[in-house]
Structure formats: C-alpha cells, structure tokens
Amino acid sequence: MSEYVFVSSVGEEFPVIITTRRGLRNITLRPKTSPVREIHMSKPWLVRDADALRFLESKRRWIERIFAKTPAKSALAPGDEIEFLGMNVVLRHDGARRSNEIIRHDDAHATLIIGGGADMFERRVRDFIRTEFLCAVKRIIKTAPREFHPQRIAIRDTSSRWGSCSSSGAMSFSWRLAFAPTDVMRYVIMHELAHVRHMNHSAEFWATVSELYGFGVERAKRWLTVHGGELHRYF
C-alpha cells in the first residue's frame, strides 16, 4: 500500500507512489488511469517527500481533470443494462451455451446472452461489442462515396484518439465509440474518411466532413468533447 494518498475534491482516493532518482533535476508527475488509478512521482535525491507533496497539491486542478476524463471502471454482471450501438441492452449469462446471442426486441432494445464460464463474462461481453462495432463501422462507411473508402480498417483501444487515418488509406477506430450515440460514432467515421482527401484540419477538410456527415456536425463534435471520457467506464 502506498504511504501517501491524494484525495480528490469528490472524495476519490489515489495512491501516490514517490520514487527518488539520482540525476533528476525536477519533480515529475504521471497520473495513471489504467489498469489502476494512482499517481506516480519522481523527485531529485535532495527533495524531501513533503516538498514533493506540496508540488503535487499545486497541480491539483490538472490532476483532477485527467482523472475526470477517464472515470473509474464499472464492473459488468448479468442483469446489468448498458447502451451500445444505439440500443439499451440487458446482459444475461447462460453457462450452458458455448456461443453468445443477441436478441433484438425492437430498434432500441435487446438482450445479450453470454455463454461460457462466469469468469469470462466481462471479456466475452467486450469481445462481442468489439465485433459488432466493427460491423457497424463497415456499414456506415458504405454510405459514403466509394472514393473515400479506406484500404484497411483496424479496431483499437486508445485513450487519446477516437480515430486515425494514414496516408496509405488505412484507418483505425476506438471500439469504445460503440458506447457513444450513433450520430457521434458516425461523426468520427466521417471525420476520418474526410482525411482521405485532406490530411490536415483545414477549412477545406471541415467542409468535406460536413459534406459527408450532413447537418449536426458541431453538435456531435461537442458531445464527444464533453462526454468522451464516459466511453471508458467499462472494461
């Protein structure tokens, strides 16, 4: 257990791990949000822990912003209801099944039955969502003119970028967009498709994004800025 604890303004406690390093000239801070939420500090040999902690306190607003953007993980269990790909989905477990099955009740409600052992429940939910997300990405891409279609699509789990497009035409998307409203997910996809024509963020680029997306680009973009951190609440 860490000797020091940083308590946020909302009461969440973060262990503080202080390391002394010879040759270091300044105190460095590294808040970690995964796989555990804690703060790592490195300090020069002659700096006391008390001084390092005062420096930590001076950076409180910056630290709290980082942790606020990546909220603590919520465990998933049978009976929980989550939203992904525009649906409210109730999670069930059936250990007698070897495969998973989603039963759609209507356009907005479904039940996801997860098979296999109980110890693999969360992992199999995650893998199912990733697979469904990739299928949804491909469907959305097909609605854009063929000249914008990527050469290759990859699914990632990134913390700072929702999508990327290389000069070779390969694109990647964070599968956590599956938890966003479908119009927000579509915005990110059209954003990356627009990079096929403009590898920058010029006025011409944004005009292409609007051309591909249609009305509501700014609303979708604003939602992601405000709520993006919430997409990391599971797994």
| 151 sits in which H/E element | none
pLDDT for res 232: 86
pLDDT for res 152: 96
Question: Per-residue pLDDT for the chain (235 aa), expressed as one digit of tens each?
Answer: 458 999 999 888 999 999 999 899 999 999 988 778 899 999 999 999 999 999 999 999 999 998 887 778 899 999 999 999 999 999 999 999 999 999 999 999 999 999 999 999 999 999 999 999 999 999 999 999 999 999 999 999 986 789 999 999 999 999 999 999 999 999 999 999 999 999 999 999 999 999 999 999 999 999 998 888 889 889 8
Q: How far is CA 65 from CA 39, 113, 169, in A?
A: 13, 37, 34
CATH homologous superfamily for 81-232? Metalloproteases ("zincins"), catalytic domain (3.30.2010.10)
Residue 165's φ and ψ, nearest 5 degrees, are: -140, 125
For residues 233 and 34, is the Cβ–Cβ distance under 8 A?
no
The alpha carbon torsion through 125, 163, 155, 185 (nearest 10 deg) reads 40
> CA–CA separation, 16 vs 131, rounded Å?
37
Alpha helices in 31-181 (DSSP H): 49-58, 60-69, 121-141
Show me where the domains of the chain are located: 4-69, 81-232
